[in-house]
Amino acid sequence: MEQTSLTNEHERQFPRVLVIDDEPANVLLAKRILTKAGYDSIGSTTDPREAAKLFAETGPDIVLLDLQMPHLSGFDVMEQLRSLTEPGEFLPIIVLTADITPQTKLRALSGGATDFLTKPFDHAEVLQRVQNLWRTRQLHLELVAYRRDLEQLVGERTADLRDALRKLEETQKHVIEQERLHAFGTMASGVTHDFNNALSVILGFSEIALQELDDPDTHPVAPHLRTIMTAALDGAAMVNRLRDFYRPGGREEPRAVIDLNALVEQAAGITKPKWSSQARAKSIEIELRTKLNKVPPISGDAAELREALTNLIFNAVDAMPDGGEITLRTVEELADVRLEISDTGTGMPEEVRRRCLEPFFTTKGELGTGLGLAMVYGTIERHGGKMEIESEPGRGTTFLIRLPKHLATSQVKAQSEAHAVQPLSILVVDDQPVLCEIVAAYLMKDSHVVEVAQSGEEALAKFEPGAFDLVITDHVMAGMSGLELAARIKEQSPLTPVFLLTGYADTQSDTAPTAEHEGIDQVLGKPISQIDLRKAITRISSDEGEVARAPVA
């Protein structure tokens, strides 16, 4: 019996009945009794050999069965019917007998009979017994339907739970990955901070020591001091690079409206020598295909994003030593623009896929730096985007990037947030390029726009009233000193603040200008830490009225 028809089986008013008796008169009588009572589905046969077939065709609820019949006895028929019913199904069989011995009765009961009717039939009794058994079967059918619904419900719930569990596991995996990278970021910025402070002390005091030598050009210690400064600066550059991957995004980021498709085309162009010519030189063929759908603009830093794309394309080329195909695809999603970079290369084993974003993780030995994907990750994060990696060893890799669409309102927000930071345009003057660089690095980290000059003369050439919000100059310089420079600047633009960086011990803790520092707004001791520099700048920025602000590019 098919499942759906079962649903309301038990709600039918009358059961389907099958009468099996070799005596036509009996069959007729039974049918008449039932028909008169309203029964509308009554099958019958006088040939027991037909019973099984008829049973299968009509699916009766109740069978009225004679015991003594030619060809097949009622016992045989019962056995056949039992093989046609589901195990556990309740099929009432009423045995019709003229007179029955206790043994036969027992045998009939153990063969599957449910009840007995004695011939000749008593009308009321026939109806009563049939009806009682129908009621029982109805309850049975109801139970079956209920159980089936329950099983279905449990099945559905189990599927839901399994689904939820799978999603939970996925989310958990994702969260753990994000947490790991976040931890790397925190570690990187902590290390950078501490290292920068240590390095700035090394740099600052090396410079002071150098200046205190009577003859810095010929003194035998001078080259050593310069080597120390260079090494410290290299160290600073290195940690700053690390920090850049995880530089927090947001307010200080310059945001432009970017057409991602154009960017993809550019990246494809920039990388062409690598995937086209170089590949051909190794006599392998790498094809780069773009599938660029119309997408809305995103906002961000084009140079950074281009570099991220370039990195991903380079990785794809590296992953295809025997050639293959790179596909760059863009497509609009609900709130994002989705960018896919796929290759048909070697793919990554799970362990590599899990770790590939870590800085310094590489499988390329000497040829790799392990910084490419860390940088890509940092860039995408800073753009408020998400990156997923799908990779299968032997089949290839897809980097799936989602970047939020540019919203007109996000610009308004960026502007109001930028107001709190107040990026300034700053001229940094120092004849030691290393120190210029470190001060500039500090300033740029706070999103100031920095111009450097390596002498007072160069500074004056660059200076124009209104072009800079602030000048930071070294004290002792070859040629024009910092004090001279300050005076010349104040002549041109009295409102432009000038900071003097000096390594002289007596001024180190004294940040207030003294009489001999005319034209200097603040004196800053060397080595300057980023925090002190920031504090000094905050001091002048809060006196907004005194600062003639230049427009920041």
Q: Does 352 bind ligand ADP (CB under 6 A)?
A: yes
Residue 493 contact partner, candidates ligand ADP, Mg ion, none, CB within 5 to 8 A by sort of partner: none
Q: Which of 216, 250, 254, 370 binds ligand ADP (CB under 6 A)?
A: 370
H or E element, residue 224: helix 222-246
Q: Which residues of 478-492 are buried (b: 16+ CB within 10 A; e: fewer)?
A: eebbbbebbebbbee
Distant-in-sequence contacts of 105-114, Cβ < 8 A, 24+ apart:
107/75, 108/67, 108/74, 108/75, 108/78, 111/75, 111/78, 111/79, 112/78, 112/79, 112/81, 112/82, 113/65, 113/78
Q: Does 280 bind ligand ADP (CB under 6 A)?
A: no
Strand arrangement, sheet containing 17-20: 42-45, 17-20, 62-66, 93-97, 115-118
The residues, any chain, with a CB within 8 Å of residue 282's CB and separated by 6 or more, are none
Give the CA angle between residues 60, 62, 66 to the nearest 5°.
Answer: 110
Q: How far is the CB of 172 from ligand ADP (least distance, A)?
A: 23
Ramachandran region of residue 384, left (φ > 0), alpha (ψ -120 to 50) or beta?
left
Q: For residues 396 and 456, which CB has a smaller minimum distance to ligand ADP in the complex?
A: 396
Q: For residues 297 and 323, which CB has a smaller minimum distance to ligand ADP in the complex?
A: 323
Q: Which residue is nearest to ligand ADP (CB)?
A: 372
Which residues, 293 to 332, sit near ligand ADP by CB under 6 A? Answer: 311, 315-316, 319
Residue 348 contact partner, candidates Mg ion, ligand ADP, none, CB within 5 to 8 A by sort of partner: ligand ADP
Euclidean distance between CA atoms 453 and 444, whole angstroms: 15
Q: For residues 27 and 376, which CB has a smaller minimum distance to ligand ADP in the complex?
A: 376
Q: Which residue is nearest to Mg ion (CB)?
A: 372
CB count in 10 Å sphere of residue 279: 20
Q: How far is the CB of 508 from Mg ion (least distance, A)?
A: 45
Q: DSSP H helical segments within 7-122, as ranges?
A: 24-36, 51-58, 74-84, 102-111
Q: How far is the CB of 367 from Mg ion (least distance, A)?
A: 10
Q: Does 379 bind ligand ADP (CB under 6 A)?
A: no
> CA dihedral in degrees (133, 135, 136, 137; nearest 10)?
90
Residues 472-511, mask of contacts with ligand ADP (x by CB under 6 A): ----------------------------------------
Dihedral pair phi/psi, residue 195, rounded to 5°:
-65, -45
Task: Find out whether 202 and 526 touch, Cβ atoms under 8 Å.
Answer: no
Find where tokens 């079956």 sit. 144
- CB under 6 A: which stretch of 22-30, 211-219, 348-356, 458-466 binds ligand ADP? 348-356
CB-facing half-sphere around the CA of 214: CA atoms within 13 A: 0
Q: Does 363 bind ligand ADP (CB under 6 A)?
A: yes
Euclidean distance between CA atoms 538 and 543, whole angstroms: 9
Q: Which of 373, 427, 434, 440 binds ligand ADP (CB under 6 A)?
A: 373
Residue 489 contact partner, candidates Mg ion, ligand ADP, none, CB within 5 to 8 A by sort of partner: none
Q: Which of 364, 395, 413, 539 binds ligand ADP (CB under 6 A)?
A: 364
Q: How far is the CB of 355 from Mg ion (least distance, A)?
A: 14
Count of residues touching ligand ADP (by CB under 6 A): 23
Q: What share of the chain is helix, strand, coil (3-state, %, to 5)?
A: 50, 15, 30
Q: How far is the CB of 360 from ligand ADP (least distance, A)?
A: 8
Task: Find out whether 235 and 273 touch, Cβ atoms under 8 Å.
Answer: no
Q: Which of 361, 414, 467, 534 binds ligand ADP (CB under 6 A)?
A: 361
Q: Does 342 bind ligand ADP (CB under 6 A)?
A: no
Residue 397 contact partner, candidates ligand ADP, Mg ion, none, CB within 5 to 8 A by sort of partner: ligand ADP
Q: For residues 356 and 459, which CB has a smaller minimum distance to ligand ADP in the complex?
A: 356
Q: Which of 111, 204, 372, 423 binds ligand ADP (CB under 6 A)?
A: 372
Helix 123-212 to helix 372-382 angle (10° resolution) is 110
H or E element, residue 93: strand 93-97
- CB under 6 A: which stretch of 242-250, 343-351, 506-514, 535-543 binds ligand ADP? 343-351
Euclidean distance between CA atoms 384 and 409, whole angstroms: 15
- CB under 6 A: which stretch of 146-154, 160-168, 339-347, 402-410 binds ligand ADP? 339-347
Q: For residues 67 and 308, which CB has a smaller minimum distance to Mg ion in the complex?
A: 308
**Residues that bind ligand ADP in the complex, under the rule CB under 6 A:** 311, 315-316, 319, 343, 345-348, 352, 356, 361-364, 368-374, 397
